[in-house]
Structure 1
């Protein structure tokens, strides 16, 4: 009797610790091999369809991208933590029967690749083209851009995710490089795909690139983000804006100004606007000006914004301030105009812009 009980216990142990996990694994693999359940086409002028497949527990997202112009489709596995492509298949011609037929024809190879990256199939994918909720928080994803002269393309771009409760963070940034032929002509966020495994999202953007005499090339860009960590808190109190400006936190500064923070704050008598200028944080200077900061302020040295623009050696800064009507003849406590400072600091190319 004792031996029977022992054998029964042994069988139970073997089942739960060895056979049962194998059965679960087998079921997971079986589910993984099924074709995707949905396809979505996001946004204006977007020739691509996004076909979600699933996520791993380590932040990898699997999906297919269908080019509706060429009728081809690729399988991709993307690392949403390090923002890099783990796998991208060769383009497949889309058969008349659609994804189901394509999957059936390539089931073994697709399943092998998805299994290599431990992708868990998502049978009820959560995605969309706009703002979204997760838990008890609201999120939005958007791009901030500045344009090249003549609006011939994007000079700089930042992809931002904003949490109503936690603040903002940057997911991706781009700066135009004149040494490269192609120009980023336009870009916008088309959608998102949420992970059911953890609080992680895949942001999907459409980029339009081209160069002089070249055809436009449209492509999707993917950027991952965790929804609970890495955010800069947005505070509306006075010290929040001071800290954001002095630490160079552009997006936190922007969010605080949007929520009503006073851009004319002074720190021990020094205007915050000029403190940002002294630190050469000109993006924040112009952000404060756009937020309503008084431009004609003076610091303890008797200097105005135009003095610090002359010191910065940045032609664009000077042009923008002169266009705003800044006083070129104003002298600091040492009797120097902005043009004088440009000459002293060997920024002679700015002098013609600073002379009356």
Structure 2
């Protein structure tokens, strides 16, 4: 099938993995490619999946080229400033307060700027600033110093402007929101950091490897997300919150959610997740494609069909074991798939 006959969403998906010059050449190959890419502002701008789910990113689907490569710095700035009330520098507000009028021009200019920079020097400088920021924040929970917060936050945003893949900056900004008790927004920013670099230690999804007995660093980082979710659970618990477990079994409400998630990825409706389906599920949950050994071990440990594919029963067995051991992990997983982790309901999608 020629490219010109492909659906526009497939054309956009292919273009996401191309460099700017190749995108232009690809977009000029046919009228459909030209309309799907070169004159399509949504391709350059649109948030991941084309929408926000209750204000949060959904990592399941197609994203914009600018945000995929550079992160959504405009939304990051907006969340941080509105949530904290901190007044950052005028230079930052001029740069990030208003979105570009032309996202294609923004993307091309941004790419050229980054390509012309000395990345090694910038990376060394960025890592130094990140380490200094971590040191500065260690005492802030006991003695809140807003001038330090402004200084650190400004540094992190400037680093992201020139090193958009530095996930540590998102982590620092999320931590600032955490110590200011802006927990939902802190989770939002951590989600954004995971989209930029899922291999960054607090975002790397090592729990998935741990479950199937693969090698794991015993001194792995304790995720900030886990602490935030635990605090939110303690603070927001009320009589209307639905339990994850009933008598050490998955609650009916959680079972319903897990059935819906499983069915979403069981594309061939055979009651199993084949290697491709399981890979997509894990990637959609924590932003990483698992190794082949993980795919095999999941089925072996929790239940597989004759072909070694994880069954629906095995999928539920995994979540029962995980929820018994650490409910916050299950909450994070279902949240990643667009569910309210206390009401166990699908979050409303808004444009």
- Alignment TM-score, normalising by the size of structure 2: 0.24
Q: Please tell me whether Structure 1 or Structure 2 has the larger radius of gyration of its CA atoms.
A: 1
Q: Which has the higher helix share?
A: 2
Higher relative contact order (CA 8 A, sep 6+): 2
Decide which structure has greater strand share. 1
